[in-house]
Amino acid sequence: MQDGQRAARPKVTIVGAGMVGGALTQFLALRDYADIVLVDIVEGLPQGKALDLMQAGPILGFDTRITGTNGYTGTTDSDVVVITSGIARKPGMSRDDLLRTNMGIVRSVTALVVEHSPAAVVIVVSNPLDAMCHVAYDAAHLPRERVIGMAGVLDAARFRTFIAMELSVSVEDVSALVLGGHGDTMVPLSRFSTVNGIPLPELLPADRIAALESRTAKGGAEVISLLKTGSAYTAPGASVLQMVDAVILDKQRVIPCSVLLQGEYGISGVFVGVPIKLGAGGVQEIIQLDLAEQERAALHQSANAVQGLVDAMARLASEPQV
């Protein structure tokens, strides 16, 4: 290294400079361990957000190099790629319309980033999340260990928050686990959720636990209903940050993520949220819990819902474009 040159840092590419991508960029810049490339199709948007955040560095004390771009050359040799691209469902838009549009977006951006960064770990955030993991996996041609969906971290964070609010305790003492697809069929596991080691069923009656589980499953919709326009972005951005931390810093975190199951939990060929050990190189282990019959049935029901979306995408892909 020549005098005055900075040693190369890990590189993280964030595709999509919308609210989630912007929040993640801000959080990651504050970590100050990686350089960031922010990509978006809208001219000026990623460049403007990158410059704005760079100008916060002297005040907040980070030296992260943030580059905004409308192309993919600058993403070359990224260690982690986060895909947040896609559109939200609009009034009058059918599920098929949303699937068709986001399929095309996720497929194209995944192929482009992997072309420039074939060794990267790909984290998918685009919705419908578990279905978009399938699209990214098919486009990336990477081992399943390196294509991961962000869902369980966010769902568990919401569950932890609601538990802490209900019990008037610090959220730092609350641990929670949520499995399944990222949607109404997710499976909050209260039996595995604790407050400083105390199982949740020891602290709350069954009806209150059921209410918290229901609120968790509808957590995203609750935020949308309050905002009126747009959807959650701060907590999703923080959730992705935890995953990026785990990969770049090889923290070997045990967290729930959407991964392609190949027989684990009796499920094959579907991306669904389960606890994994996440570190350098992506998924280092899929942790199989001894689920009760009702919990296992709920997880399979959630996997079937994801499979329904995958089947719908296959149908849409086979239909002629008009």
Report, as residue numbers or ranges, the catalytic residues. Answer: 182
Comparing CA positions, the residue from 311, 317, 261 lying closest to residue 286 is 261
C-alpha to C-alpha distance for 15 and 248, rounded to whole angstroms = 18
Q: Who contacts 165 (Cβ-Cβ below 8 Å, separation ≥6)?
A: none
User: Is the CB of residue 64 less than 8 Å from the CB of residue 29?
Assistant: yes
Token digits of residue 12: 């993280």
Buried b / exposed e along 236-268 (16+ C-beta atoms within 10 A): bbebbbbbbbbbbeebebebbbbbbbeeebebe
Comparing CA positions, the residue from 216, 214, 190 lying closest to residue 204 is 190
DSSP character for 129?
H
What separation in angstroms does the CA of 91 have from each of 95, 183, 184, 242?
Answer: 11, 19, 20, 33
Instruction: Assign 3-state DSSP to the chain and report helix, strand, coil percentages, each to 5.
Output: 50, 20, 30
C-alpha to C-alpha distance for 24 and 240, rounded to whole angstroms = 7
Token digits of residue 153: 């971290």
